[in-house]
Amino acid sequence: MSQIPGLINYNEENGLYCSYNYTLSQDKNGFIWIGSDNGFFRFDGVEFKNYSKGLKNIEILGLTPLSNGEVFIIPFLNDFAYLKNGVIHNTNTDPELNKMQFPSVFPIFFNDKKRDEIMFFAHDNPKNIYRYKDRKIKTTSLDTGLKVYKGFHYDFDSHTLFLQSMPGKIISYNILTKKKKDFKIDANKDECAIVMKNNILITTLNGKKISFYYRASGSFKKLKSITLKDPDTIYGIYVDDYDRLWVSLLNGGILYFDQAISDSSPMKKPYHFLKEYLINGVLVDKDKNIWFSSKNDGIFFLSQKFFTSYINFPINNNSYITAIASNSNSILLGYNSSNGASYSFSKGSREFSFNSSKKIEHRAIYANNDIAIFGQNQEAFQMNLSNFKAVPLKIGFKNVVSYGNNEVLISSHSGLFSYNYKDRKISDTLLNERNYTALPYTPDSLFVGYLKDLYKLNTKTKQKKLFLKDYYFTDLKKLKENLYLGATNLHGIILFNNHKVLQQITSKNGLISNQIKKTDIENDHVFWASSNAGLMRVELKKNEPKISIFTRIDGLPSDKVAGCVIRGDTLYAATSKGLGIFSIKNMMIQQKYINKKVIINSVIIGGKEYFNLRQKISDIFPNNDVIFKLSFLDYASQGKISYKYKVEGLSKSWQISNSSKIILNSLPPGKYIFKVYGLGYNGKRSYIYTELPFEIKPQFWQTLWFTIFVIILIIAVLVVIVNAYIQKLRNKKLKNILYEKKIAELELQAIKAQINPHFIYNCLNSIQFLLYKKDYEETENYLNIFSQMIRKTLQYSEHAFMSINEEVEYLSIYLNMEKLRLKEQFDYKIIVSEEIDPGWHIPSLLVQPFVENAIKHGISGLKNRKGSIEVTFNYKHPALCITIKDNGTGFPDKYELTGKENSFGVKLSQKRIDTFKQLFNTNIILEINNLSEKKQTQGTEIKLYITPYENQITS
């Protein structure tokens, strides 16, 4: 197996848990299906998915995928089944399958991919032929009239079954018309018809001979035959979709014939694969990759590029190559042992061994048209290429480069030497120190690479000078005049002239590795760099170099590349698994994308798995976790698959996952679109994304109507709570108001109780004064008016309000009484505006104390003029205004009027105003103006304002 570069073995370590593998097949999506003794498997390049649950017999001899997504299962005996949407249906769950019964353990079957149907019949003496389509089976009986015959082929277009009767006759039988037709065939009677494809019949004889016949109108004409050499014995015959013949051998391995079965020319020598294994089946897939199923060793895979490279490989020895060189006629190879090879462009290949007892690897090779020098670690050999005779050189190599006529420079652990290969002797010792590489840049100057540093060496004086420090050069090449190329062990590639470093190219610029083994020149601006991680082509540009990377996925036998040789358009790459030969033009036509799409195998939402992704993925789920099971069928990437995805409706950013299961946790309800790219080896992605829309429906408590209902309910509860709280506050406030009103009523009664004695006290003072003056007539008049006042005061003090008419009448009586008492010292006027409704009510006994105060404090003290009091009732929108105006002496400031000894009545009136405000929610404003401050007149003006609302509620 190790001798075939790129060959991969999949077995139990990879998840293929079985002992025996049978047939291989591929469905329309590209999945590989494998029948085994442990059920069957589906392989996507990463995972082997096993199917056994639902099978009545787990030994699966054949699998036939259909374009409708079904996979028909052919187990041992008659326990047929099929796989649909991830579920296996057997003869118990689908009794239709019981219609097919065969006496042999394994029927012959043919699948028509265009019609999506399968035809089944027995190999020996078939009595019926069965047609399976859309999970229905149609049985057609066969009436051949033959006693002994074998069925080997069915033609769907002509509805014809091909039979081989004994001895050696070929018969066609139309299952619709029941007509037979005999074909003439010039064949041995013991030849057994095996397979027929595109009118080419292939027969075998005695397990050794294979013959090819072409079907003409009524006969089969022989094209050619081939007899296998001992010990090869036929185990199985297969013709792939590209009409190439494969023959598995009973003694191990499988033969591949690289020519069409219809080609009448003699059969070419076949290629022998997997000699150590018994091969049960072969499949060439849609991408021309090769799959082999084995008896006990799993399955084998060889990509199309590796397969093509292998069958075109010019040298049998594909071991570890450590050195490569060329001349105009051939390629020279050195291995990691004391062996070499020469591949001549005209004469073919030749292998040779310098010392078979030693495993010393080659370090460098020099070649011209006549000789080649193979340098190894401890010794070297000079070979005459005309006769391939070699003589040993007692010197170990690190590197070798051309150095003038018939000479080379040899770098070794003991020094740097000039070696004349014509004379076969060292012509000059340039250094006596270990060095690794050298390159001439002038006739008498060299660059010499030490372990770490690069020196300039004068070959005449033998003097060296440090040039570049700490670069660890492994190889030096001249790109063009005064421009040199240095491969380093740590720092990528260095471009320099004989004065300084011009440019450094590293992984930051796109190299796959900074550890470069060798560089090889294509032209003066393009070179190739070899590394343990692959091969790189570097094209120098003005700004950034253009770097193309090639690995085993691109067909290299291995990523470990020791060096390469360029001949025109052909590149020869020396790798650890042999020589790779490529067209540079074809290598550069690398597809930017992989021409495949990601396949979504199924989707799991809330524990429910969906296989039919054509249906709408939408439902209500208690658990909103979503799992996408993916496959990206790029088998050439050899399992190095990842996925780049995003979920529109959830995020705008792309994410990368190495798992084929993309898990989205706790998605909120909504509509989403899952988009995914496949990423193959080196990050190359699929040419287009795969998308799948899906919807997470909300639970009833997540719906809009439920949210609205909850909001309304919350609002209603809050309203009830707030209203209850407000009502509680209102009731509490109402209680307080009732308490306050009760107190205010008691206070008003108390004030009234104070007003009456106060008024009577003032009147009695006036009567006492008249009696003191012995003015009995006036006293009598005063007593009459006083009696009226007492009656009115007692009457109005029982009510909270009195009308304006009543107030005017009461004020007139009081003013007349006071005018009488003061001997006409003042005049008064009471004016009621026409805008005033006389029936309006105002607080009782509110105005009189202010009039009394005007007489007592304003008029009574006048000596040089007669007093005047004017009471006016006006309506000034929006308030009723009562004005008490006198022409007295005024007062020094507005607070003097409320002094304790002179203003008891005003104080009571002010307190009544406050009580009325509290008790009746009235708005009464008291305004006192000192007219003397205006220096235009004398006196005081008092104004009472009552708003219309308060005015109205008193009526």
**Identity of the amino acid at 238:** Y
Strands 690-697 and 617-620: parallel
**Side-chain-facing half-sphere of 286: CA atoms under 13 Å:** 12
Residue 884 pLDDT = 93
Backbone angles phi, psi at 286, to 5 degrees: -65, -25
Could you give the angle at which helices 804-821 and 704-772 cross, rounded to 10 degrees? Answer: 30
Residue 899 pLDDT = 45
Distances (CA, A) of 137 to 109, 347, 805: 14, 61, 119
Report the C-alpha gap between 625 and 663 in whole angstroms.
Answer: 7
Three state DSSP letters for 514-583:
CCEEEEEEEECCEEEEEECCEEEEEECCCCCCEEEEECHHHCCCCCCEEEEEEECCEEEEEECCEEEEEE
- What's the token pair of residue 271? 């290629």
The dihedral through the CA atoms of 722, 724, 729, 734 has a sign that is positive
Q: Is 173 exposed, middle or buried (0-12, 13-18, 19+ CB in 10 A)?
A: buried
With a CB cutoff of 8 Å and minimum separation 6, the contacts of 802 are: 796, 810, 841, 842, 843, 844, 845
Report the C-alpha gap between 553 and 641 in whole angstroms.
Answer: 12
- What's the token pair of residue 12? 């139990």
Paired with 842 in beta bridges are 802
DSSP H or E run through 917: helix 904-920
Whose CA is closest to 35, among 74, 84, 1?
Answer: 74
Query: SS3 of 746, please?
Result: helix
Q: How crowded is residue 73: how many other Cβ atoms within 10 Å of its Cβ?
A: 27
Report the C-alpha gap between 218 and 172 in whole angstroms.
Answer: 10
DSSP H or E run through 914: helix 904-920
Place of tokens 């859309």: 134
CATH class of 599-696: mainly beta
Report the C-alpha gap between 62 and 74 in whole angstroms.
Answer: 5
Long-range contacts, 389-394 (Cβ 8 Å, 24+): 390/352, 390/354, 391/424, 392/354, 393/419, 393/424
Report the C-alpha gap between 144 and 126 in whole angstroms.
Answer: 9
Whose CA is closest to 859, among 831, 893, 885?
Answer: 885
Backbone angles phi, psi at 269, to 5 degrees: -65, 130
Whose CA is closest to 680, among 571, 595, 599, 763?
Answer: 595
> Rounded to 5, what percent of the chain is helix, strand, coil?
20, 45, 40
Distances (CA, A) of 760 to 104, 664, 749, 890, 904: 143, 98, 17, 26, 14
DSSP H or E run through 37: none
Report the C-alpha gap between 554 and 435 in whole angstroms.
Answer: 35
Residue 340 pLDDT = 92
Return mean pLDDT, the chain.
88
Query: SS3 of 143, please?
Result: coil
DSSP state string for 781-835: HHHHHHHHHHHHHHHHTTSSEEEHHHHHHHHHHHHHHHHHHTTS-EEEEEEE-TT
**Identity of the amino acid at 76:** F
Residue 776 pLDDT = 79
Report the C-alpha gap between 849 and 752 in whole angstroms.
Answer: 12
Which pLDDT tens digit goes with each residue over 713-750?
Answer: 999 999 999 999 998 888 888 777 676 666 656 555 55
Whose CA is closest to 525, among 490, 562, 495, 499?
Answer: 495
Q: Quickly list H helices, 690-775.
A: 704-772
Residue 954 pLDDT = 42
Whose CA is closest to 311, among 303, 321, 319, 323?
Answer: 303
**How much is the CA Rg of the chain, to the nearest whole Å?**
59
CATH code at 186-270 = 2.40.10
pTM of the model: 0.69
- What's the token pair of residue 886? 């006198």
**Identity of the amino acid at 8:** I
The CATH homologous superfamily of the domain defined by 707-953:
Histidine kinase-like ATPase, C-terminal domain (3.30.565.10)
Report the C-alpha gap between 561 and 537 in whole angstroms.
Answer: 13
Whose CA is closest to 15, among 52, 42, 37?
Answer: 42
Low-confidence ranges of the chain (pLDDT < 70): 1-3, 167, 314-317, 591, 619-624, 699-703, 737, 739-759, 762, 891-906, 908, 919, 934-936, 947-955
**Side-chain-facing half-sphere of 470: CA atoms under 13 Å:** 0
Domain ranges of the chain: 186-270, 599-696, 707-953
Whose CA is closest to 525, among 571, 480, 466, 475?
Answer: 480
Local structure of residue 100 (DSSP, 8 states): -
